[in-house]
Amino acid sequence: VAAGTYDGISISGKNITVMTTENAVIDGNNTNQTVQIGNGSSESLTNFEINGFTLQAGAGVGCPGDYCEFGSVMIDNWLDAPQSYIFKYLKFINHYEGVTPGLISIDDRNIDSRDILIENCTFANNQNTKLFELYSIVASIEIKNSIIDIPDELDLAYWLDAWDSMPNTNISYSVFPASFSDESFPDGVTLGANVLYENPLFCNPDSGDYTLAENSPCVGTGENGADMGSFGVGCGIINQ
C-alpha cells in the first residue's frame, strides 16, 4: 500500500498479507473502524497478516452510545478451521474510551483454535479499557518486541471482557509502563525474557513522534538485539 491516509480497509474471502513500507495511515476519525477483516460468513479468510501501518482514532460499532461494541480492528470470521492472525510493525495510537471499547476484537466463534501474534507493535496514547476483545478463550497469543504504553490507572482486566482468566499468552521482549510489575498480569500470562517496566522514551509523543531516543530502554533490547516497537531511533539522548 502506498503512502497516504486512508479511511479504512475491509477484506474478506482471502488469505492475504496487507503491508506498507511507506508512511501509510489508516484513520478512523473517531467514527469508523480502521480495519475490518471477514464478514461473518463461511467465505471469510483463514489467515491474515497486516504489517507496517499506523492505525489511529478507530471507532467501534454504535460508538459512542449504549451499544458500543467491537474494536478499532475487527475480525469477524466464522470459518470452522484453525486460524492465524498476525500483526507486525503497527502503530496503534489516539484511540479513546467511549469511542471504541477495545483495540483488537476477534469474533470467530465457530473455530476451535486460533494463533495471534503481536510483533514489533507500538501502542501509545490509547485510553481504551481493553487491548483485546475475544469471543473465545481458546487462543494462543504471543506478544514480543512491542511497546504497550497504556494509562497508568488501567489494570490488566482490560485484556478480556467477561472471562475470569486469560488465554495462553506469552509475552517477551516488550516494555510496559513503570507502574506495572510481574504481578500485574492475570492468570494465563507467561512472562518470558526481557519484559521491562519503564518509560519507553519516545522522542516527542505530544507531537505524534513515537520514534525512540538513543537512550530508550527499547533500543537493542528486543529479540536478537532488535529494537522494541515499530520505530527505531529518531532523536538523541533524553534526560529524565
pLDDT at 156 over 50: no
* Model confidence band, residue 154 (pLDDT cutoffs 50, 70, 90): very low
Average of per-residue pLDDT values in the chain: 81
Judge whether 201 and 227 are in contact, CB under 8 Å. no
Mean pLDDT of 18-44: 78
What residue spans of 15-63 are helical by DSSP H?
none
Which has more pLDDT, 153 or 119?
119
pLDDT at site 149? 83
pLDDT at 214 over 90: yes
Question: Which pLDDT tens digit goes with each residue over 158-193?
Answer: 444 455 556 788 999 999 988 888 887 777 789 999
Rounded distance between C-alpha atoms, residue 194 and residue 115, angstroms: 22
Q: What is the DSSP letter of 226?
A: P
What is the model's pTM? 0.88
**Burial class of residue 33 (count of CB atoms within 10 Å of its CB; 0-12, 13-18, 19+):** buried
Q: What are the distances in angstroms from CA 96 to CA 102, 195, 224, 235?
A: 9, 26, 34, 28
Mean pLDDT of 78-82: 64
